[in-house]
Amino acid sequence: MTNRRSFLEFLAASPLLAGLPAADVLAQATSLKNATDALDVFDFEAMARRLLPPAHWGYLSTGVEGDVTLKANSTAYSRYQLRTRRFVDVSRIDMAMHLFGESFNSPIVLAPVSSQGAFHPEGEVASARAAKNRNQLQLFSTQATRSIEDVSKARGKPVWFQLYTSDSFAVTTRLLQRAEAAGCPVVAITVDLPAGRNTVTLSRLMREDARPCAACHGTGGPSGNGNIVATKPMFAGIETQGVRMQSASLTWDFIKRVKDVTKMKVMIKGLESGEDAALAVEHGADGIVVSNHGGRATETGRATLESLPEVVRAVGGRIPVLVDGGVRRGTDAFKALALGANAVCIGRAYIWGLASFGEQGVDRVLEMLNTELRLAMAGCGTRSLEEITPAALIDARAG
């Protein structure tokens, strides 16, 4: 058995436990009383799966089509092993991360995850309180269920804004103006969903959910005819009638158009190739997030950890490079940092904590990942983020 979760799944399938639904066995075996009882993020995954209604669990866990990219993201981390070093004084480890003039306690970042109200009533506000408590960077989704002002207040300072584009630049401008007025210093434009996606796992789980979506979502719900995106607080007061929340026709000049209407630093989220990274720098991007949307965009794509080195090479240190996708351990974060990332974003991992215990769950996820990262740094004799280099990794494929 590779880990505790696979063992529990094995148990759940045992004929000795026949009669009990597998998910129940898993849930009973993994129920936590307090967030601090969790030993790793997979404890929260099991709990979130038990607590969330099927459709919401489906929304969180889905990839696209056969979920191949989704799985590739996390398995890519097993390609590398850590190369330990001894007799280095690691009694003081500095994990501080500095980005665009702000300092954070560690390079673990909360990725923008939409609709957090579907996972916990306090949604993004609970995540923000945890991010404040641990002084971690938080990115706020265009599709958040709480307002950017409330979330920034809970965070104790402005969060960074993630922008979804549409076919209306007037709408884009209004969103940017609101984020800027809320004090956001940085916008990350997500570009990995130019023309929709095919979330098969979500569709399957929606069929298992007896509750009518419209009861909560109205006609804007997933099975309604309305525009679910435009019902989110970020769109309050913005005319979205007839606006398509997709933008298949965007080209690189979009970065300049955005820069012309905002003072925020502009990052591009969703690049995976060296060519695109070079073009991003050429067109004035201030930073890149190597991302495939957690395997929720293009199917049978490459793991982001595999894409990272060519992006880092193309950028050549001119702008910061962040990465996300499949990060479940501090050692995963360490490996991404060693391959050149300036910071590492987590998505599902903190939402598992949020769904389980709200703020306390997100706090515990951050605490566990930070502890694991610190241990990896100590084991490899790396006392600061700058000291984490490719020399700290062994590539199992290199033979």
Ligand X SMILES: Cc1cc2nc3c(=O)[nH]c(=O)nc-3n(C[C@H](O)[C@H](O)[C@H](O)COP(=O)(O)O)c2cc1C
How far separated are the first and last CA of the chain, in Å rounded?
A: 25
CB of 127 to ligand X, least distance (A): 12
Nearer to ligand X, 269 or 383 (CB): 269
Name residues contacting ligand X, limited to 176-195 (CB under 6 A).
Answer: 190
Q: Which of 30, 69, 73, 307 binds ligand X (CB under 6 A)?
A: 73
Query: Cβ distance 354 to 366 under 8 Å?
Result: no
Contact between 54 and ligand X by CB under 6 A: the answer reads no
Nearest to 108 by CA among 281, 282, 367: 367
Nearer to ligand X, 12 or 245 (CB): 245
Contact between 370 and ligand X by CB under 6 A: the answer reads no
Name residues contacting ligand X, limited to 128-147 (CB under 6 A).
Answer: 141, 143
Which of 56, 120, 217, 293 is flagged as catalytic?
293
Query: Cβ distance 291 to 282 under 8 Å?
Result: no
Rounded distance between C-alpha atoms, residue 92 and residue 162, angstroms: 34
Q: Which residue is nearest to ligand X (CB)?
A: 347
CB of 126 to ligand X, least distance (A): 15
Contact between 382 and ligand X by CB under 6 A: the answer reads no
Nearer to ligand X, 129 or 348 (CB): 348
DSSP 295: T
DSSP 158: P
Rounded distance between C-alpha atoms, residue 247 and residue 172, angstroms: 11
Name residues contacting ligand X, limited to 75-134 (CB under 6 A).
Answer: 111-114
Query: Cβ distance 321 to 314 under 8 Å?
Result: no
Name residues contacting ligand X, limited to 291-350 (CB under 6 A).
Answer: 291, 293-294, 296, 324-327, 346-349
Rounded distance between C-alpha atoms, residue 321 and residue 96, angstroms: 16
Nearest to 58 by CA among 224, 206, 229, 215: 206
Nearer to ligand X, 12 or 322 (CB): 322
Output the six-digit token pair for 24. Answer: 């129940």
- Return the range that interacts with ligand X (CB under 6 A); candidates 42-50, 288-296, 309-317, 365-373: 288-296
293: left (phi over 0), alpha (psi -120 to 50) or beta: left
Active site residue 293: yes
Nearer to ligand X, 142 or 382 (CB): 142
CB of 293 to ligand X, least distance (A): 5
Nearer to ligand X, 80 or 382 (CB): 80
CB of 351 to ligand X, least distance (A): 6
Output the six-digit token pair for 220. Answer: 């804007």
Per-residue x/- marks for ligand X, 256-275, CB under 6 A?
-------------x------
Percent helix, percent strand, percent coil in the chain, to nearest 5: 50, 15, 40
Phi and psi at 7, nearest 5°, equal -65, -45
C-beta neighbour count of 94 within 10 angstroms: 12
Contact positions vs ligand X (CB under 6 A): 59-60, 73, 111-114, 141, 143, 162, 190, 269, 291, 293-294, 296, 324-327, 346-349
Catalytic residue numbers read 293
